[in-house]
Amino acid sequence: MSSRLPSPLAPIAALPAPLLSARARGLALLLLAIVVWGCNWPVMKAGLDHVTPIWFSALRFATGGLCLFAIQLATGTLKLPTRRDLPLLASVGLLQMMAFTALGAIAMTQVTAGRSAVLAYTTPLWVAPIAVLAFGERLSRLQGAGLMLGLAGLGLLFNPLAMDWHDGAAVQTNLMLMAGSFLWGMTILHLRYYRADSSAYQLAPWQMLVATVPLLALAYGVEGPFTGDGSRALWEIVLFVGPLATAFCFCAVNAASMSLSATSMATAMLGVPLIGLAAATLFLGEALSLPLVAGGLCIVGGILVVSLGARSRAR
């Protein structure tokens, strides 16, 4: 990936190289994306009051993609994908963007925003074992302990023993969220171990186009003609989830995936459900129980320990 990122990430990339290495830049972008994506869960929950889930997902990537196409055309950075870029266009566009987002939006019509955020971000359950067994990534003892602590936090937040397995709708929505998490986990690994010709920023609008076209067809086929109520609130929400939570965040996370290990990426993303829980409690009034607090503290502790372990290995 080029060391120079075009606008809108140029202010970060313009900092002096000794002060901001490629890894530090990736961490900065990842931190911003985690905060925005965490806050995005209650925003999406509110958006589903104004439009059905698949149409909402299509709107998200249509507006996000248009935003990036406009920026790249205006700055002269728009680039056609090469043949080597096609696998990443397919995996990110169809798995990370289309499938993960649509599954999450459909599930959120049945479960709370906080719980949705938690179950959707169980990526370490899939990424860490595959990264170690299939790709030879090695975990230090400190990194392994941090990962286990983060997963323990998820275990506290999602307790299968407390679920009513006779409630078919509840089981189905939870499985949809876990399936979306698995698909994103596979994309994290693909981004880490496959080298395309173009940067994450250059590929992002084309990936969003790949996600938007089938989402529009699926929305029309399943939900009928456009279901949005046309309210001001709807379009304010779309402007947040499209240009900011989609265009910026997917660029930032995919750029970070190219400079950070798959295990570090997956563990750091545990911060999203923590922020999502806090935002859902603050803005939607969702209940904050003892397991939620305990699980959140474990997740924060796990992220901190993994970060310390990664720094120790680098030294």
Cα gap 114→38, rounded to integer Å = 9
pLDDT recorded at residue 12: 43
Cα gap 242→57, rounded to integer Å = 9
* Cα torsion 261, 264, 266, 272: sign: negative
- Tokens representing 68 are 């990036």
pLDDT recorded at residue 121: 74
pLDDT recorded at residue 2: 43
Alpha helices in the chain (DSSP H): 10-13, 22-47, 53-75, 86-90, 100-108, 113-120, 124-135, 141-157, 168-193, 200-223, 232-239, 249-257, 262-268, 271-284, 290-314
pLDDT recorded at residue 310: 57
pLDDT recorded at residue 11: 45
Q: How big is the CA angle at 207 (ends 203 and 212), to the nearest 5 degrees?
A: 150
Cα gap 83→43, rounded to integer Å = 37
Instruction: Work out the burial of residue 252: count CB atoms within 10 Å of its CB; fewer than 13 is exposed, 13-18 middle, 19 or more buried.
Output: buried
pLDDT profile of the chain (315 residues), mean per 10: 45 46 76 90 93 96 95 93 95 94 90 80 74 78 82 75 71 85 87 87 94 97 96 95 90 77 71 85 82 77 70 59
